[in-house]
């Protein structure tokens, strides 16, 4: 059976369901998916990954870290990659991003016939442009690629800016197991007693780039309008201590609950009680938490600084695009959402239907498989 080889960094609980679906669809076409992971994990990752859930053939390369920068950048050297590709007789490849794996595969094409697709969600960061050397490097990797798989519209534009031909760029979307979040959240929600307190929810890492502190500014504005609110912060990270200090300094302890890091299976119980999901970030190439929240049937306010917002949020139809720095306007929008439950139930239903059809595992996998 012909193999399609996919090379990526580490096993991820969000990717395994997609790879399972990819393998299923490839087999229906008489092909087989083989995944090569650069390492088992990074030291700073708390996520527990069940490798027994992998229904596809895979291997994990030696964990070689380049310059020991793994905690900051996750750069892996992918030791033994070319040897593995030779053994697999792999000539049709999908490689994630512009990693050392991509560089090695690019270099190998000068000595043997090998078609590779670059799978990337990279978008332009107006606040932090990539250097000229890195841009030159990416352009060279793109030149020899057979095609490009982009997360969304902004990633497609970034590919084009680096020299990729528009006809060779396929927007496949970025997804999670939407069925799990929809079903589990609904199951829990149907058993909940209605409460007067309204829950605003943030799920994600607490890092400077996420700038979750901005949500406390919005919260202060909202508290001038109403007091029946609680901001649930689900996540952990280097900004946790500072964020807790900000909450205390602003006398917000009664309106903010820190729940810490939670595994995927634990998230639905927090999403089930949410009245409004707040996806704040100063920069994200995508933001899978938005997929999760929409699949869970929650009205979402999503940052204009996230790639996912461009593709998933249709203003007033599937959610709302906001700049959280405009704290007063955001607070007023949240207040309106909380005061209009009927309209928000309809909006959340549209969002859930959109995400579970257009961004389901099967739909995103299908967009990839059709290229092969």
What would the pLDDT profile of 187-220 be if each residue is shown by its tens digit? 999 998 888 899 999 999 999 999 999 999 999 9
Residue 67 has pLDDT above 70, yes or no: no
pLDDT at 35: 98
| CATH number of the CATH domain containing 351 | 3.40.50.2000
**Token pair for 14:** 């969000």
Dist CA 283 CA 305 (whole Å): 5
Q: Is the pLDDT of residue 48 over 70?
A: yes
pLDDT of residue 192: 86
pLDDT of residue 42: 80
| DSSP letter, residue 317 | T
| Size (the chain), residues | 372
**187 and 163 within one domain:** no
Residues 169 and 197 reside in one and the same domain:
no
Half-sphere exposure of residue 98: CA atoms within 13 angstroms, side-chain side: 19
CB of 200 closer than 8 Å to CB of 312? no
Cβ 91 vs Cβ 113: under 8 Å: yes
Can you tell me the distance from the alpha carbon of 233 to that of 88, in angstroms, rounded to the nearest whole number? 45
- Say how many Å lie between the first and final Cα of the chain, rounded: 14
Angle of the 16-28 helix axis to the 361-369 helix axis, nearest 10: 50
Counting beta carbons within 10 angstroms of the beta carbon of residue 356, is it exposed (0 to 12), middle (13 to 18) or buried (19 or more)?
buried
Which bin fits 133, alpha (ψ -120 to 50), beta or left (φ > 0)? alpha
Residues 203 and 349 in one domain: yes
Number of domains in the chain: 2
Instruction: Based on the fold, state whether residues 67 and 193 are members of the same structural domain.
Output: no
Kindly report the number of other CB atoms within 10 A of residue 279's CB atom: 28
Question: What is the tens place of the pLDDT at every residue in 312-363?
Answer: 999 999 999 999 999 999 999 999 999 999 999 999 999 999 999 999 999 9
Distance in angstroms (rounded) separating the CA atoms of residues 113 and 108:
8
Q: Are residues 156 and 145 in the same domain?
A: yes
Q: Which two tokens stand for residue 53?
A: 């859930």
81 and 223 inside one domain? no
Asked whether residue 17 falls in the same domain as residue 155, the answer is yes
DSSP at 266 = G
Q: What percent of the chain has pLDDT over 90?
A: 88
State the chain's mean pLDDT as an integer.
94
If we measure between CA atoms, which residue out of 261, 270, 280 comes closest to residue 216? 280
Rounded Cα gap, residues 318 and 332, in angstroms? 18
Confidence of residue 69 (pLDDT cuts 50, 70, 90): very low
Indicate if 20 and 147 belong to the same structural domain.
yes
What single DSSP character describes residue 212? Answer: T
* Domain that includes residue 42, residue range: 2-176+360-369
Q: What is the pLDDT of residue 70?
A: 42
- Cα distances from 4 to residues 93, 116, 260, in angstroms, run 6, 10, 39
**42: helix, strand or coil:** coil
Same domain membership, residue 215 and residue 99: no
pLDDT tens digits, 152-184: 999 999 999 999 999 999 999 999 999 999 999
Of the ranges 41-45, 130-134, 146-150, the best mean pLDDT one: 146-150
The arithmetic mean of pLDDT across residues 78-95, rounded, is 94
Task: Assess whether pLDDT exceeds 50 at residue 129.
Answer: yes
Q: Is 125 exposed, middle or buried (0-12, 13-18, 19+ CB in 10 A)?
A: middle
What pTM was computed for the model?
Answer: 0.93
Task: Kindly compute the dihedral angle of the four CA atoms of residues 345, 347, 353, 358, in this order, to the nearest 10 degrees.
Answer: -160
Mean pLDDT to the nearest integer, 15-42: 94
Burial (CB count <10 Å: 0-12, 13-18, 19+), residue 195 = exposed
pLDDT more than 70, % of the chain: 97
Does one domain contain both 187 and 167?
no
Please state, as a whole number, how many other Cβ atoms lie within 10 Å of the Cβ of residue 285: 20
Contacts of 98 (CB under 8 A, 6+ apart): 118, 120, 122, 137, 138, 141
> Residue 43: what pLDDT?
73
CB 281 within 8 A of CB 303: yes
Q: What are the phi and psi torsion angles at 205 (to 5°)?
A: -70, 150
Q: Which two tokens stand for residue 215?
A: 């949500």
Q: How far is CA 174 from the centre of its chain?
A: 7
DSSP-assigned beta bridge partners for residue 60: 37
Residues 191 and 115 grouped into a single domain? no
Tell me, yes or no, whether 263 and 295 share the same domain.
Answer: yes
């Amino acid at each position: 059976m012909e193999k399609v080889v996919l090379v990526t960094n580490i096993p991820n609980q969000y990717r395994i369901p997609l790879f399972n679906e990819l393998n299923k669809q490839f087999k229906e076409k008489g092909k087989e998916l083989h995944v090569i992971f650069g390492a088992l994990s990074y030291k700073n990752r708390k996520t527990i990954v069940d490798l027994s859930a992998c229904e596809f053939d895979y291997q994990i390369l030696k964990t070689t870290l380049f310059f020991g920068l793994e905690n900051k950048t996750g750069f892996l050297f992918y030791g033994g990659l070319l040897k593995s590709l030779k053994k697999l007789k792999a000539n049709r490849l999908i490689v994630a991003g512009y990693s050392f794996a991509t560089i090695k595969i690019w270099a190998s094409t000068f000595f043997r016939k090998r078609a590779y697709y670059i799978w990337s969600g990279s978008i332009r960061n107006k606040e932090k442009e990539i250097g000229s050397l890195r841009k030159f490097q990416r352009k060279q990797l793109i030149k020899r690629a057979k095609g490009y798989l982009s997360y969304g519209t902004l990633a497609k534009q970034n590919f084009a800016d680096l020299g990729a031909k528009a006809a060779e760029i396929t927007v496949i979307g970025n997804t999670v197991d939407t069925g799990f979040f929809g079903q589990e959240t609904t199951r829990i929600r149907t058993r909940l007693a209605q409460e007067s307190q309204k829950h605003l929810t943030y799920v994600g890492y607490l890092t400077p780039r996420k700038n979750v502190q901005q949500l406390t500014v919005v919260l202060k504005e909202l508290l001038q309008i109403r007091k029946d609110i609680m901001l649930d912060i689900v996540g952990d990270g280097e900004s946790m201590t500072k964020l807790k200090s900000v909450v205390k300094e602003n006398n917000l302890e009664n309106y903010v609950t820190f729940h810490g890091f939670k595994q995927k299976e634990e998230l639905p119980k927090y999403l089930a009680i949410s009245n409004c999901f707040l996806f704040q970030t100063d920069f994200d190439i995508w933001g899978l938490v938005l997929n999760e929240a929409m699949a869970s049937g929650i009205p979402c306010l999503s940052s204009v600084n996230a790639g996912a917002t461009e593709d998933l949020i249709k203003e007033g139809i599937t959610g709302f695009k906001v700049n959280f720095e405009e704290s007063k306007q955001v607070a007023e929008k949240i207040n309106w959402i909380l005061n209009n439950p009927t309209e928000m139930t309809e909006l959340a239903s549209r969002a859930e239907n959109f995400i579970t059809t257009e961004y389901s595992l099967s739909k995103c996998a299908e967009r990839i498989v059709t290229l092969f």
